[in-house]
Homo-oligomer: A and B are copies of this chain.
Amino acid sequence: MKQKKYLLPESEIPTAWYNIQADMVNKPLPPLNPGTGQPLKAEDMYPIFCEECARQELNQTDRFIPIPEPVLEKYVYYRSTPLVRAYGLEKALDTPAHIFFKNESVSPVGSHKLNSALAQAYYAKEEGTTNITTETGAGQWGAALSYAAKAFGLEAAVYMVKISYEQKPYRRSIMQTFGANVTASPSMSTRAGKDIITASPNHQGSLGTAISEAVELARMTPDCKYVLGSVLNHVCIHQSIIGLEAEKQMEMADEYPDIVIGCFGGGSNFCGIAMPFLRHNILDGKKTRFIAAEPASCPKLTKGVYLYDFGDEAGYTPLLPMYTLGHSFRPANIHAGGLRYHGAGAIVSQLMKDKLMEAVDIEQLDSFKAGLLFARSEGIIPAPESCHAIAATIEEALKCKECGEQKTILFNLSGHGLVDMTAYDQYLAGDLTNFEVDEATVARNLAESKLDPSKAL
């Protein structure tokens, strides 16, 4: 029997996260205070964020950060996740490439997001907080956070991007079943929400808007901390568990990836799978390629500019160094709600600038075409976000076929699509379209966001 699935024994599950900041030659740039223009210290973030998360955010020295025992206990419940050799997809493509995927969809909430949700909820609890609040796009992060909050005895309030709230009622309901309070964003419950609705009564929401609302709630509520599911460095650190496991599992399969691929929204699952391997490019001279697959309708890495910008629409957050389309960018209503964010995190942005990784943009129709082929050849229906990674993988596997090269490709299956079936319905019915973003649109958005592309970092 050909081996298809690789699992780690419990004793082999990593007990520390990997922090690539320690190994980067050019460190990620610091967040800035928008008023003073000065770099933030961890203390400056304590009013909003868990203190340990704030410290991890700026930690450029510790290569490994121990996973707290109670978090590890929850990890072990669903980890290790399987590394799978995609024989079915290889056969369907008739490619000499060896395709592997890390199956993060087996977590109880169906995606990788739980890896950081558990960590952040644990720190919040440890630091004496009773409430946490966050935003969510497609609902993958919100579902994970709701689960994690319940697991550690916290109350959770989630602002869900309005278009996803409507498109994905099941994810809203999952959060409520875990006991969370879910509000469609923009809402009238915050100043930021009211301002946005007043200016644009039909605003369908964006991650940037929902972040503004959640941050405002955290600011205004005693014993309430804000948590974020992507973009920030500490989230990327927590997600490194994906790649650390994959590294050991690839060894079990006696292979090493020539290419590592993740879909890209703010960077959480991409960093999770990629960073532990990227360190071997930095430290050990490996030549693996790292590809972030972003939607063509939200192309910050392929068409954005590297600038200091706000992380949210209302401008509540510090200024973050990011490849950005401008914080006022309103992404089209693609089904991959988790990828509808205007900017890339600090780590990824620096790695992009230093050409240590690449990005490709994927059209919505191509993403679902890839997802359908994957479902029918591998038996797992992928989340619309993950479909982007699959599309990029297929592209590379077909190049291998053309050249007759037997490369090893590893991608991250960030989540399953069982709660996104409306999207597949519409795709099968021919009701979906592509959304282009051209250079002129980007330029106009940057200007609207008061950003000057000539000041690129």
Contacts and interface: CB of A to CB of B under 8 A. Distances in A.
A176 interface: yes
Given A77-B4, A177-B421, A108 B69 contact: no
A62 interface: no
Given A169-B425, A418-B170, A424-B173, A4 B379 contact: no
Nearest to A70: B1
Interface string A37-80: 00000000000000000000000000000000100110011000
Contact-residue bracket for chain A = 35 or more
A136 to B, nearest CB: 15
Contact of A73 (B4, B110, B178, B421): B4
A73 B176 CA distance: 38
A357 interface: no
Among A3, A77, A169, the most chain B Cβ lie within 10 Å of the Cβ of A77
A77 B5 contact: yes
A421 B169 contact: yes
Given A110-B418, A177-B372, A381-B174, A76 B4 contact: yes
Given A147-B379, A150-B376, A425-B169, A73 B1 contact: yes
A375 interface: yes
Contacts of A424: 173, 176-177
Interface in A146-188: 147, 150-151, 169-170, 173-174, 176-179
Contact of A380 (B72, B108, B418, B428): B108
Nearest to A417: B177
Given A1-B76, A7-B7, A421 B376 contact: no
B106 A421 contact: no
Nearest to A72: B1
Contacts of A150: 376, 379
A419 interface: yes
A419 B168 CA distance: 11
Interface in A1-55: 1-5, 7, 10
Interface string A349-380: 00000000000000000000000100110011
A239 to B, nearest CB: 19
A421 B381 contact: no
13 contacts: A4-B76, A5-B77, A7-B7, A150-B379, A169-B425, A173-B425, A174-B381, A176-B425, A177-B375, A177-B381, A178-B376, A418-B419, A419-B419
Given A4-B76, A176-B424, A179-B376, 4 more contacts: A5-B77, A176-B425, A177-B424, A419-B419
* A-B CB proximity, top 3 nearest: A173-B421, A170-B421, A108-B379
